[in-house]
Amino acid sequence: MSKADDIKRNSTKIWLAGLGAYSMVEAQGSEAFEELVNKGQNFERINHTKEIEVAPDSRLDELKVRANQTMDRIERAFDMRVSSTLGRLGISRKSDLDLLNDKIDRLAAALDKVTEALQNQDRQS
């Protein structure tokens, strides 16, 4: 399986996990939210104390960088997916519309020239 497929699959899972967490919090109220916060704090404390000997700030920085890279990959995969879906639906991309607008402008200019030439020809007759 390609890296792009992995990203697509993981981005979908992340999205669904977020929706599931939101749904749980909504259904169970603030208790569920507090439980998630406590679990996150415990996880951070456990992982942070294991890495203290190495360098706690570097671990946090590394996680931030990896999270940003992951978000960038997810965003690109999402953009590709949306673009592909729009293409399948027959909805043009901005670049396609820009090319079409340029072509229309050239055709309008050519039509203006032809119209002007015909009017000059009628005046001379």
pLDDT, one tens digit per residue, over 17-61 is: 777 776 776 667 767 677 777 887 887 777 765 554 545 567 777
How far apart CA 6 and CA 94 sit, in angstroms, is 28
Tell me: pLDDT of 107 over 50.
Answer: yes
Q: In this predicted model, which residue has the larger pLDDT, 79 or 116?
A: 116
Q: Distance between CA 112 and CA 89 in Å, rounded?
A: 35
Q: What is the largest CA-CA distance in the chain?
A: 97
11 close to 3: Cβ distance less than 8 angstroms: no
pLDDT over 90 for what percent of the chain? 15
Look at residue 54 in the predicted model and tell me its pLDDT: 46
Dist. CA 100–CA 88, nearest whole Å: 19
Q: Is 81 helix (H, G, I), strand (E, B) or coil?
A: helix
pLDDT of residue 106: 96
